[in-house]
Structure 1
Amino acid sequence: MAAHNEKGKLAEEQVKNWLIGKGYEFKVSNYRHGYAEIDLIFEYKGILVFVEVKFRSGTGFGYAEEFVDYTKRKLLIKAADHYIHEIDWHKDIRFDIVGVYQDKNGNINFKHFEDAFY
């Protein structure tokens, strides 16, 4: 596995643990449908939450949340729709983005954008 893929998987695991610590109930990781993959799926206060995780070792090329473009959002919505029907979900949903930033000292920080798009 390429180094950037390994960092991405580690970032997803860190976000998963971080959100569980905030009271989110973990459901699924790396849910795939067609060409789309949803990094993490949680339930939080009766809402099904689809989370896209973006890792950045700096902001020189932009912020993590800026890398979820129209095409990516469309794919995520399509996969989420499939998951919703698969589990017969009839309550609210939302799409979050969590940016994972590593500073020069190796410290990890999270930036959580709730209800980032629809």
Structure 2
Amino acid sequence: MTDNIILGQKGETLAQQHLEAQGLTIRSKNWRTGRAEVDIIAQDGNTIVFVEVKTRSSDRFGPPEFFITPQQQRMLAGAASVYCEKIEHPGEIRFDVISIILRDDGKTKLEYLKDAFWPGL
């Protein structure tokens, strides 16, 4: 595996642990539909939460969450629609971002951004 894939997997594991510590239930990881993939789908009460995890080794080029493009937001929204239809979820949804920096010196910075974006707005 490439270093980027390993870094991403470590980030997703930390993100999952963080969400569970916040009381969310993990429903799915790396859920795919078509070309879209949702890193983590969780449940927070009656709300289905679609979580994008961005992991970098530094913030030299900006915080990891800055690299979520409008196109990626639209793809996540489409995937969320398919997922909610599949499980017949009539309730609320939310798009969160977990931004992680895993430095070479072992230091980790994790930021949890609830309601980080709403695609199309």
Report the Cα offset of residue 35 of structure 1: 0.9
Partner of residue 53, structure 2: 53
* Structure-1 residue corresponding to 2:35: 35
Q: In the TM superposition, what whole-angstrom CA distance separates every residue of 1:57-109 from its partner, at most 9, and x where no partner exists?
A: 11111111111110100111111110000000011000001001123521222
Paired residue secondary structure (1:105)? coil
Q: Deviations over 1:17-59 (max 9, x none)?
A: 1110110111000010111100000001221100000001111
- Equivalent residue letter for 2:97: I
Counterpart-to-counterpart distance in 2, 1:104 and 1:25 = 30
Question: Which residue in the other structure is 1:14 paired with?
Answer: 14
Q: Does the alignment pair 1:92 with 2:119? A: no
Aligned to 1:74: 74
Q: Which runs of 5+ in 2 are unaligned?
A: none
- Segment drifting more, 79-88 vs 99-108: 99-108
Distance in 2, Cα, partners of 1:9 & 1:86: 26
Q: How many Å separate the matches in 1 of 2:117 and 2:96?
A: 7
Find the aligned partners of 1:112 and 1:31 in 2 and give their Cα distance: 20
Runs (4+) off by over 4 Å: none
Unaligned 5+ residue runs, structure 1? none
TM-score, L = length of structure 2: 0.93
- Higher strand proportion, which one? 1
TM-score (norm 1): 0.95
